[in-house]
Structure 1
Amino acid sequence: MCFLMLFGGWLLGQRTVSRSKNIPFESGVISYGNINLNFAIKFYLLSIFFVIFDIESLYLYTWSIDVRNIGWIGFFEVVFFVFLLFLSLMYLIQEKVFQWVPKKSGCTFNF
Protein backbone atom coordinates (compact mmCIF):
# COMPACT_ATOMS: atom_id res chain seq x y z
CA MET A 1 0.00 0.00 0.00
CA CYS A 2 2.80 2.42 0.88
CA PHE A 3 4.67 1.65 -2.33
CA LEU A 4 1.48 2.18 -4.30
CA MET A 5 0.89 5.57 -2.66
CA LEU A 6 4.49 6.71 -3.24
CA PHE A 7 4.41 5.55 -6.85
CA GLY A 8 1.06 7.27 -7.40
CA GLY A 9 2.42 10.55 -6.02
CA TRP A 10 5.47 10.30 -8.23
CA LEU A 11 3.36 9.40 -11.27
CA LEU A 12 0.75 12.13 -10.81
CA GLY A 13 3.01 14.81 -9.33
CA GLN A 14 4.59 17.74 -11.11
CA ARG A 15 8.15 17.48 -12.35
CA THR A 16 9.33 21.05 -12.61
CA VAL A 17 12.89 22.09 -11.97
CA SER A 18 13.69 25.68 -11.21
CA ARG A 19 16.24 27.66 -9.25
CA SER A 20 13.72 28.89 -6.70
CA LYS A 21 12.38 25.39 -6.03
CA ASN A 22 15.63 24.12 -4.54
CA ILE A 23 16.24 26.90 -2.00
CA PRO A 24 15.10 26.58 1.63
CA PHE A 25 12.01 28.60 2.43
CA GLU A 26 10.50 29.08 5.84
CA SER A 27 7.59 31.28 6.91
CA GLY A 28 7.82 33.53 3.90
CA VAL A 29 11.43 34.52 4.55
CA ILE A 30 14.17 33.51 2.19
CA SER A 31 17.15 32.41 4.24
CA TYR A 32 20.62 33.77 3.67
CA GLY A 33 24.01 33.07 5.14
CA ASN A 34 25.23 29.90 6.79
CA ILE A 35 22.38 27.78 8.14
CA ASN A 36 24.59 25.17 9.77
CA LEU A 37 24.37 25.97 13.46
CA ASN A 38 26.21 23.98 16.09
CA PHE A 39 24.35 23.53 19.35
CA ALA A 40 25.81 22.15 22.52
CA ILE A 41 24.86 18.58 23.43
CA LYS A 42 23.29 19.82 26.66
CA PHE A 43 20.35 21.24 24.71
CA TYR A 44 19.66 17.89 23.08
CA LEU A 45 19.97 16.05 26.38
CA LEU A 46 17.61 18.44 28.09
CA SER A 47 15.02 18.06 25.34
CA ILE A 48 15.28 14.25 25.46
CA PHE A 49 14.84 14.25 29.24
CA PHE A 50 11.86 16.56 28.89
CA VAL A 51 10.19 14.25 26.38
CA ILE A 52 10.86 11.18 28.52
CA PHE A 53 9.43 12.72 31.69
CA ASP A 54 6.55 14.24 29.75
CA ILE A 55 5.55 10.82 28.41
CA GLU A 56 5.75 9.45 31.94
CA SER A 57 3.26 12.10 33.04
CA LEU A 58 0.87 10.80 30.38
CA TYR A 59 1.02 7.37 32.03
CA LEU A 60 0.20 8.97 35.36
CA TYR A 61 -2.72 10.83 33.77
CA THR A 62 -4.20 7.61 32.38
CA TRP A 63 -3.83 6.04 35.81
CA SER A 64 -5.63 8.95 37.46
CA ILE A 65 -8.61 8.57 35.13
CA ASP A 66 -9.21 4.96 36.18
CA VAL A 67 -8.01 5.13 39.77
CA ARG A 68 -11.22 3.70 41.27
CA ASN A 69 -11.24 0.58 39.12
CA ILE A 70 -7.62 -0.50 39.58
CA GLY A 71 -7.71 -0.60 43.37
CA TRP A 72 -4.78 -0.94 45.73
CA ILE A 73 -2.68 -3.03 43.37
CA GLY A 74 -2.75 -0.24 40.81
CA PHE A 75 -1.96 2.28 43.53
CA PHE A 76 1.17 0.40 44.59
CA GLU A 77 2.21 -0.03 40.97
CA VAL A 78 1.98 3.72 40.44
CA VAL A 79 3.89 4.40 43.66
CA PHE A 80 6.62 2.07 42.41
CA PHE A 81 6.54 3.80 39.00
CA VAL A 82 6.93 7.25 40.56
CA PHE A 83 9.71 5.90 42.78
CA LEU A 84 11.58 4.68 39.69
CA LEU A 85 11.12 8.10 38.08
CA PHE A 86 12.49 9.72 41.21
CA LEU A 87 15.49 7.37 41.23
CA SER A 88 16.22 8.12 37.59
CA LEU A 89 16.03 11.85 38.27
CA MET A 90 18.39 11.48 41.24
CA TYR A 91 20.79 9.51 39.04
CA LEU A 92 20.77 12.28 36.43
CA ILE A 93 21.43 14.86 39.12
CA GLN A 94 24.24 12.74 40.57
CA GLU A 95 25.85 12.45 37.14
CA LYS A 96 25.59 16.27 36.90
CA VAL A 97 23.71 16.15 33.62
CA PHE A 98 21.81 19.32 34.46
CA GLN A 99 24.93 21.27 35.44
CA TRP A 100 25.33 23.92 32.77
CA VAL A 101 28.27 25.81 34.21
CA PRO A 102 31.56 24.14 33.30
CA LYS A 103 34.00 23.31 36.03
CA LYS A 104 36.94 25.65 36.39
CA SER A 105 40.20 24.00 35.55
CA GLY A 106 43.73 24.99 36.29
CA CYS A 107 45.18 26.52 39.38
CA THR A 108 43.68 29.45 41.18
CA PHE A 109 45.63 32.02 43.08
CA ASN A 110 44.31 33.75 46.14
CA PHE A 111 45.82 37.17 46.79
Structure 2
Amino acid sequence: MSENINFFTQYWSFSFFILGGFGICFFMLFLGWLCGGKSFSRNKHIPFESGINAVGDCSFPFSIKFYLVAMLFVIFDVEALYLYVWTIGIHEIGWVGFMEIVMFVFSLLLGLFYLIKGNVLNWVPNNN
Protein backbone atom coordinates (compact mmCIF):
# COMPACT_ATOMS: atom_id res chain seq x y z
CA MET A 1 0.00 0.00 0.00
CA SER A 2 2.85 2.40 0.79
CA GLU A 3 4.32 1.82 -2.70
CA ASN A 4 1.10 3.08 -4.30
CA ILE A 5 1.05 6.15 -2.06
CA ASN A 6 4.68 6.94 -2.98
CA PHE A 7 3.88 6.55 -6.69
CA PHE A 8 0.90 8.91 -6.48
CA THR A 9 2.92 11.44 -4.49
CA GLN A 10 5.62 11.53 -7.16
CA TYR A 11 3.03 11.68 -9.94
CA TRP A 12 1.20 14.55 -8.25
CA SER A 13 4.36 16.60 -7.77
CA PHE A 14 5.35 16.12 -11.43
CA SER A 15 1.87 17.13 -12.60
CA PHE A 16 1.98 20.19 -10.37
CA PHE A 17 5.39 21.11 -11.79
CA ILE A 18 4.15 20.85 -15.41
CA LEU A 19 0.95 22.79 -14.69
CA GLY A 20 2.92 25.43 -12.80
CA GLY A 21 5.32 25.84 -15.72
CA PHE A 22 2.47 26.28 -18.20
CA GLY A 23 0.73 28.62 -15.79
CA ILE A 24 3.79 30.86 -15.47
CA CYS A 25 4.22 30.94 -19.26
CA PHE A 26 0.58 31.90 -19.86
CA PHE A 27 0.72 34.48 -17.06
CA MET A 28 3.80 36.14 -18.58
CA LEU A 29 2.22 36.19 -22.06
CA PHE A 30 -1.01 37.64 -20.68
CA LEU A 31 0.89 40.25 -18.65
CA GLY A 32 2.86 41.29 -21.75
CA TRP A 33 -0.37 41.60 -23.74
CA LEU A 34 -2.04 43.56 -20.95
CA CYS A 35 0.82 45.95 -20.17
CA GLY A 36 2.32 46.19 -23.67
CA GLY A 37 2.00 49.27 -25.78
CA LYS A 38 -0.64 49.41 -28.48
CA SER A 39 -0.04 51.29 -31.72
CA PHE A 40 -2.66 51.88 -34.39
CA SER A 41 -0.70 53.92 -36.94
CA ARG A 42 -0.57 53.00 -40.62
CA ASN A 43 3.23 52.71 -40.44
CA LYS A 44 3.14 50.00 -37.79
CA HIS A 45 3.85 47.07 -40.12
CA ILE A 46 6.52 48.78 -42.25
CA PRO A 47 9.95 47.22 -41.57
CA PHE A 48 12.82 49.52 -40.73
CA GLU A 49 16.25 49.21 -39.23
CA SER A 50 17.74 51.90 -37.02
CA GLY A 51 15.08 54.35 -38.11
CA ILE A 52 15.95 54.09 -41.80
CA ASN A 53 13.24 52.97 -44.20
CA ALA A 54 14.07 49.90 -46.24
CA VAL A 55 14.94 50.29 -49.90
CA GLY A 56 13.90 47.42 -52.13
CA ASP A 57 13.16 43.87 -51.07
CA CYS A 58 15.12 42.83 -48.00
CA SER A 59 14.34 39.13 -48.22
CA PHE A 60 16.52 36.82 -50.26
CA PRO A 61 16.41 33.04 -50.43
CA PHE A 62 18.91 30.90 -48.56
CA SER A 63 20.20 27.68 -49.99
CA ILE A 64 18.46 24.57 -48.67
CA LYS A 65 21.93 23.24 -47.82
CA PHE A 66 22.18 25.88 -45.07
CA TYR A 67 19.08 24.54 -43.30
CA LEU A 68 20.15 20.95 -43.82
CA VAL A 69 23.58 21.53 -42.28
CA ALA A 70 21.96 23.44 -39.39
CA MET A 71 19.61 20.50 -38.67
CA LEU A 72 22.50 18.03 -38.88
CA PHE A 73 24.49 20.15 -36.44
CA VAL A 74 21.63 20.15 -33.94
CA ILE A 75 21.17 16.39 -34.27
CA PHE A 76 24.85 15.58 -33.79
CA ASP A 77 25.13 18.14 -30.99
CA VAL A 78 22.36 16.43 -29.02
CA GLU A 79 24.07 13.08 -29.53
CA ALA A 80 27.32 14.56 -28.23
CA LEU A 81 25.41 15.63 -25.13
CA TYR A 82 24.22 12.03 -24.72
CA LEU A 83 27.83 10.87 -24.91
CA TYR A 84 28.78 13.35 -22.19
CA VAL A 85 26.06 12.00 -19.89
CA TRP A 86 27.31 8.48 -20.63
CA THR A 87 30.84 9.41 -19.52
CA ILE A 88 29.50 10.74 -16.21
CA GLY A 89 27.85 7.42 -15.34
CA ILE A 90 30.46 5.05 -16.78
CA HIS A 91 31.25 3.44 -13.42
CA GLU A 92 27.65 2.41 -12.78
CA ILE A 93 26.71 1.01 -16.20
CA GLY A 94 29.56 -1.49 -16.65
CA TRP A 95 30.19 -3.55 -19.77
CA VAL A 96 26.57 -3.61 -20.86
CA GLY A 97 26.55 0.19 -21.03
CA PHE A 98 29.86 0.13 -22.85
CA MET A 99 28.47 -2.19 -25.53
CA GLU A 100 25.38 0.00 -25.86
CA ILE A 101 27.50 3.09 -26.42
CA VAL A 102 29.63 1.23 -28.97
CA MET A 103 26.46 0.37 -30.92
CA PHE A 104 25.29 3.99 -30.56
CA VAL A 105 28.55 5.40 -31.93
CA PHE A 106 28.50 2.80 -34.71
CA SER A 107 25.01 3.93 -35.75
CA LEU A 108 26.23 7.55 -35.69
CA LEU A 109 29.12 6.64 -37.96
CA LEU A 110 26.77 4.79 -40.32
CA GLY A 111 24.58 7.88 -40.50
CA LEU A 112 27.59 10.10 -41.14
CA PHE A 113 28.85 7.82 -43.93
CA TYR A 114 25.36 7.83 -45.44
CA LEU A 115 25.38 11.65 -45.44
CA ILE A 116 28.83 11.76 -47.02
CA LYS A 117 27.85 9.23 -49.69
CA GLY A 118 24.70 11.20 -50.52
CA ASN A 119 26.81 14.40 -50.96
CA VAL A 120 24.78 16.20 -48.33
CA LEU A 121 27.84 18.01 -47.01
CA ASN A 122 29.13 18.90 -50.49
CA TRP A 123 28.35 22.57 -51.18
CA VAL A 124 29.75 22.63 -54.71
CA PRO A 125 26.92 22.30 -57.26
CA ASN A 126 27.02 19.42 -59.71
CA ASN A 127 27.55 20.51 -63.32
CA ASN A 128 26.08 17.53 -65.15
TM range (shorter): 0.7 to 0.9
Distance in 2, Cα, partners of 1:7 & 1:22: 22
Distance in 1, Cα, partners of 2:30 & 2:95: 54
CA RMSD of aligned residues (A): 2.4
Deviation at 1:92, TM superposition (A): 0.8
Distance 1:68 1:102, change over 3 A: same
Equivalent AA in structure 2 for residue 89 of structure 1: L
Range that drifts further, 91-100 or 15-24: 15-24
Equivalent AA in structure 1 for residue 39 of structure 2: T
Q: Indicate yes or no: 2:100 matched with 1:77.
A: yes
Please name the residue that 1:108 is paired with: none
Distance 1:57 1:30, change over 3 A: farther
- Counterpart of 1:35 (choices 45, 58, 65) is 58
More helix by share: 2
Q: Secondary structure at the match of 2:124?
A: coil
Range that drifts further, 36-45 or 10-19: 10-19
Distance 1:31 1:37, change over 3 A: farther
Deviation at 1:21, TM superposition (A): 4.5
Distance in 2, Cα, partners of 1:31 & 1:37: 18
How many residues align structurally?
Answer: 104
Contact 1:24 1:30 in 2 (8 A): no
Identity %: 53
- Counterpart of 1:60 (choices 83, 88, 94) is 83
Q: Secondary structure at the match of 1:22?
A: coil
Q: Indicate yes or no: 2:116 matched with 1:87.
A: no
Question: Which is bigger in relative contact order (C-alpha 8 A, separation at least 6)?
Answer: 1
Unpaired stretches in structure 2, ≥5 consecutive residues:
1-22
